[in-house]
Structure 1
Amino acid sequence: MKVSIILIALTITVLFGCSPASNKSDISGTYVTQFKNEYSITSDTLVIALEGNSQTYNVERKTGFNKVRDGKTRPKEFKVAKWVSSYDTDKHLLQETELGKQISVLPEKKSLKFGDTEYQKVK
C-alpha cells in the first residue's frame, strides 16, 4: 500500500515536471545597469510590466546620473521616460513603433539589451 502511494506521487511529479512550458513568456521585471566614464556616473533601471493579457508591455526607464566636469562630480540628476512596446516572441524583441525603440530580450541570461547596454534582471 505504502509503495503504491509513493509510486503514484512519483508519477504525478514526473508528469507535471515534464509538461511543456506555456507559450506565453512574461518578461516583466526590473532590470538594472551601471556605467561610468570620464563625463558621468550613471545608474539606469528599466521596469517592464505586462499590460493586461496581451503581448503589450509598459516600459519605464529611470536614469540617475552625476555629471563629471573638470574632475568634479556634480549633484545627481534624474530622468524618467515611459513608453508602450509590443513583444515579438519569435524574435525576442520589445518594439516601440513611434520612436523606433527596440529592446532585445536575452532569456537565457535573464537580461535585456537596449542599444549597446545590457541590463541584468534583479526582480
Structure 2
Amino acid sequence: FAIDQAGIVFGESTGVVGDQRIRIDLGALRILGDGFAWAPGSFFDQNGIPDPYCTRGALQRVESRLTDAGLEALVGHEIEFVLVGADGSALPAHLWAQYGLAGVLEHEGFIRDVTASATASGVAI
C-alpha cells in the first residue's frame, strides 16, 4: 500500500498477489439493505490452511477451550471506520474527537440508520 494511504502501489516489480485469502462465513451472511451485506471472514494461506494468527480463528480456539472447561464466553469487539462523501472526499468534521462520541453525534442520522439496518438484519451491535 502507498505510504500516504492513496491506494495500492503498482510498478514493474510491484503489485498485489497477497499471502492470505479471506473466506467469509456464508452461514453468518446478513443482507443489510441498499445493496450492502456483511459477513465475518477468516484468514487462510494460499494452500487453504487456516492462518494461525487469524483473530477469528484464535477466538474460536479460545472459545473451544473455555467450553471444554465448562465456561461460556461473551465477546465484543470494536470496528473503526471513516466516513467519506460519495466522491470519496473527506466529510467536514466540526465535532471530531479521538476519544468520545462527538463525531458520532455529528452524523447521528447515519449512525441510527446503520444501527437500525443491522438490528433488522440480525447483526447485533
Normalised-by-shorter TM-score class: under 0.3
Q: Which has the larger radius of gyration?
A: 1
Greater share of residues in strand: 1
Normalising by structure 1, report the TM-score. Answer: 0.20
Greater length-normalized contact order (CA 8 Å, ≥ 6 residues apart): 1
Greater share of residues in helix: 2
